[in-house]
Structure 1
Amino acid sequence: MSLTASTDPTPRITYGAVLGSPHVARLLSGTLTGRLPNAMAPVAIVLWTLAAGGSIAFGGLLSALYGLASALSQPVKGRLMDRYGQTAVHLPTALLNSSLLISLPVAAPYGGQALATTMVVAAGLTSVPLEAGLRALWPSVLPDPRLRHAALALDTGTQGLLYIVGPLVAAALASVHSPALALTVTAVLGLTGTLVVATAPPSRCWRPSPTTAGRHARRLAGGELVALFVSLTGIGFAIGSLNVWAVAMADQHGRDMLSGLLPAAFSTGSFLGGLVYGHRAWPGSTPRQLLFATVAFLAGWLPLLALPGPHAATVAVVLPGASLTVVVACAYQVTDALTPAGRTSEAYAWLILSIGVGQAAGTALSGRLADHVLGIAALPAVGAAFALTFLLLARPGHAPALRGWNRREHA
């Protein structure tokens, strides 16, 4: 895959053309539906724990374990997809994940905290790797690079909507009926979305490219790819910090809605940024676009250092959100270019893991600094600064990682 931007003098495309391409609407809608449990399950697990008489601390622990187990298992599932195809991984994991979530309210009360913890961790480990799978399908579904560029931006941008809709649906179901129903609906949505994707011809027939020979076949990630993944932990750190900072803002100003409104504004910015980015080709190589987007991501967090009020803060977080989609979309394109043939799903899974680990670290550290107003407001910028620094100076005493990416661009 070339990292060079399109030189077409009229590079504009329409999302109608993207969604009208064979299988695209089905794959995108199925993936979004199947990934709703990523946003619903953590909330539903906490609400179920409280309803069952557990503490919020234990509920938070279970929620964190679910997310961590899901992130850590991504590379293994990506490797399995590269070896055996998507259907062989998607269907068994979907069945196991859904069965565990549905069984949790029934079985866990009889086994206490130990059984509940085991079931939640197992459910996280068997979460379906739909995101990595979809990214691996785009080259075969959309051979036109411009359509693929738009699809990747649309795919990445709509992820933010999951974290607006998912928690709201889970909370509404728990409030109207019960947390057990919220877990059941979470499981059903995950299984339904997975079936839509796994039975689609592109996923069902997908096979990875033959693994290249020589040292590249034995080694997934060179220094440049590792540098990219490490920098993305800083992006995840900023996102994780945002969630806790939003809770702290809600507590500080006595407005509970801020805890959901601020992440929603950030996600809205991500969605809008994806729409703008995917609508046309942009000048400059993909690595340079990644660099500029990371600079914009860092700049977007700096207004928080002025400790804005609720209204200004809600507007401010839209700006880094708009840059996030560009950062992630470019990161996927660079990953694709630097990954040996036959191991793209595994590489995408490592990218997802990198962001997830950073997000967990940001959440944990922000929790410890929740009482320090300026400290917690500065953490998203710290994560973004780490990401930018590591992109430029991946290894002390060596050339910046971007130079290596640009060399490959002209290969």
Structure 2
Amino acid sequence: MSLTAPPAPAPRITYCAVLGSPYVARLLGGTLTGRLPNGMAPVAILLWATASGHNIAFGGLLSALYGLSSALVQPVKGRLMDRHGQSVVHLPAVALNSALLVALPLAGPYGGPGLATAIVVAGGLTTPPLEAGLRALWPSVLPDARLRHAALALDTGTQGLLYIAGPLLVAALASAYNPVVALAVTAVLGLVGTAVVALAPPSRRWRPTASTSLHSTAVSRLASPGLVLLFVSLTGTGFAIGAMNVWSIAMAEHHEQDMLSGIIPAAFSTGSFLGGLIYGRRTWKGTTADRLITAGAVFLAGWLPLVALPGPLGATVAVAVPGAFLTVVAACAYVTTDTLAPPGRTSEAYAWLILSIGVGQSAGTALAGGLAEQPLASAALPAAGAALALAVLLAARRRLGPTGQLPRGRHRRPLRGRHKTP
């Protein structure tokens, strides 16, 4: 009979411990500040266009082009970071992006709509890839898996707040001064936040793990079946978010309450933030794939009450539920991506993940706009996107884990010698 005492339970992770770890607060705060322009620039561009005498359709086009060009170029920037490091990508990108935002007001008197369109597209193409970069830094900054789990949940959960604070700040600046000032503040915040991250030692020192001959085939195949199916599922997740944004505008018009168009997305983002805080405070049982599928199922269930066409209060409360589980879906998706991505290409894989959500969001926005006058169809679209996401995850379940695959992820050490599958 053994008298050995059972091991003491591991101390509970707190966010104070996470933020108190070296460089975490700086990297997270700098990334949030540097990404705040993602929520500010589209609104500031739209307000500048209408204040400059253009119609709202042209302003909306410019705003959409900025977001689309920013999303489409993410994988290219991820590949550049994997090859050359983070600072050499972040700093030139943000310098160009800030300069273009400041220069946009000059397009009116000197170049007209054509020059304005070119500046906006170039501005979107030069947004710094801070989100993918931060996710790649966590393993080196937080070697403890539990701290990394909490940091990723905190990081993911705060994203939605950017799209609440950003538009509000732009509206306040445009009202108190003018949209040109809003564009300038957007440029400054992006420059300062990105510099805080890019000049931090972890970002300056970060380099992807060099691949070995054992992994040469894996490195050439980023598009593994598991990753492709994961990204397809996240397109459905993004579709739900984009459809929800348009549905909230339709709700506001139907009930003649303009504030609903902002309140409903804010409730969704608040749910995402709170869900991230709860999820990150403890270590959960089961595999990451199981948590991802469970969260996807609840994410779908959370949208179903909208099909009953609830009133303003019911709709606002209802969207907080899928918002809370969006953070879990995103956090588990990033961990799964890290598991499946070949060594030396995790930043690029994270960028494809971000692009997948963005493409789905654009598709959901476009389709919901066409169905906005049909209340039931408009309310059902978020659930349709979530159902697609869950169906793909279920089909991909066996491919979402590391079983039978070479160990992957940039923070893992490459194997030496022959690999034997257990």
- Does the pair score TM above 0.5? yes
TM-score by length of 2: 0.92
Indicate conservation of the 8 Å contact 1:48/1:179, yes or no. yes
| Partner Cα distance (2:292, 2:177) in 1 | 45
Corresponding position of 2:409: none
Task: Confirm whether residue 284 of structure 1 aligns to residue 286 of structure 2.
Answer: yes
Give a deviation string over 1:336-387, Cα, whole Å, max 9, x none.
Answer: 0001111110000000000000000001111101101011111100000000
Aligned twin of 2:139: 139
Q: 1:23 to 1:295 in 2, by over 3 A?
A: same
RMSD: 1.4
User: One-letter code of the match for 1:341?
Assistant: P
Summarize deviations over 1:273-324 as a string: whole Å, max 9, x none: 0000000001110000000000010000000000000011110000000000
For residue 361 of structure 1, what is the aligned residue in structure 2?
363
Which residue number corresponds to residue 245 of structure 2? 243
Query: Is 1:11–1:146's contact at 8 Å kept on the other side of the alignment?
Result: no
Amino acid at match of 2:403: R
Deviations 1:104-161 (A, max 9, x none): 0123442111111111000000001000000000000000000000000000000011
- Find 1:341's aligned residue among 315, 340, 343: 343
| 1:327 counterpart (326, 329, 335) | 329
What is the 5 A alignment of 1:365-404? 365-393=367-395, 400-403=396-399
Residue 184 in 1 paired to residue 184 in 2? yes
Q: Check whether the contact 1:238–1:384 (CA below 8 A) recurs between aligned residues.
A: yes
Relative distance call for 1:324 and 1:16 in structure 2 (3 A) is same
Question: Please, what TM-score do these two structures have when normalized by structure 1?
Answer: 0.95
Q: Matches of residues 96-111 of structure 1 in structure 2 within 5 Å? A: 96-111=96-111
5+ residue gaps, structure 2, are 1-6, 406-420
Deviation at 1:217, TM superposition (A): 1.7
The one-letter code of the counterpart of 2:63 is: S
CA drift of 1:401 comes to 3.8
Name the counterpart of 1:156.
156
Report 1:38-117 matches (<5 A).
38-117=38-117
Q: Secondary structure at the match of 1:405?
A: coil
State the partner residue of 2:414: none
Of the three residues 284, 296, 299, the one matched with 1:297 is 299
Contact 1:391–1:402 under 8 Å retained in 2: no
How far does residue 103 in structure 1 lie from its aligned partner after superposition?
A: 0.4
Task: State how far apart, in whole Å, the 2-side matches of 1:353 and 1:260 are.
Answer: 24
1:14 paired residue number: 14
Distance 1:283 1:44, change over 3 A: same
Quote the offset at 1:211 in angstroms: 2.2
Give the distance between the partners of 2:61 and 2:399, measured in 1 at CA. Answer: 42
Shift of the 310–212 alpha-carbon distance from structure 1 to 2, 3 Å rule, reads farther
Q: Name structure 1 gaps, 5 residues minimum.
A: 1-6, 394-399
2:403 match: secondary structure: helix
Residue type at the aligned position of 1:402? R
Paired-residue identity, %:
70
Tell me what 2:226 maps to.
Answer: 224
Match of 1:283, SS?
coil
| 1:109 to 1:370, Cα distance in 2 relative to 1, 3 A | farther
Q: Report how far residue 218 of structure 1 moved.
A: 1.1
Misfit runs of 4+, over 6 Å = none
Shift, 1:75, TM fit: 0.2
Alignment partners' CA distance in 2, 1:286 and 1:392: 13
Partner letter of residue 157 of structure 1? Answer: G
> Do structure 1's residue 273 and structure 2's residue 275 form an aligned pair?
yes
Q: Distance in 1 between matches of 2:323 and 2:9?
A: 29
Given that 2:264 and 2:316 are in contact with CA atoms closer than 8 Å, whether structure 1 keeps it comes out as yes
Report the residue type matching 1:347 in the other structure: A
- Asked if structure 2 preserves the Cα contact closer than 8 Å seen for 1:68 and 1:124, the reply is yes
Q: Which residue does 1:397 correspond to in 2?
A: none
Partner Cα distance (1:160, 1:296) in 2: 19
Deviation (angstroms), 1:10: 4.2
Q: C-alpha separation between the residues in 2 aligned to 1:404 and 1:156?
A: 20
Name the amino acid aligned to 1:179: P
* Residue aligned with 1:95, SS: helix
Residues 122 and 219 of structure 1: is their aligned pair in 2 closer, same or farther, counting only changes over 3 Å? same
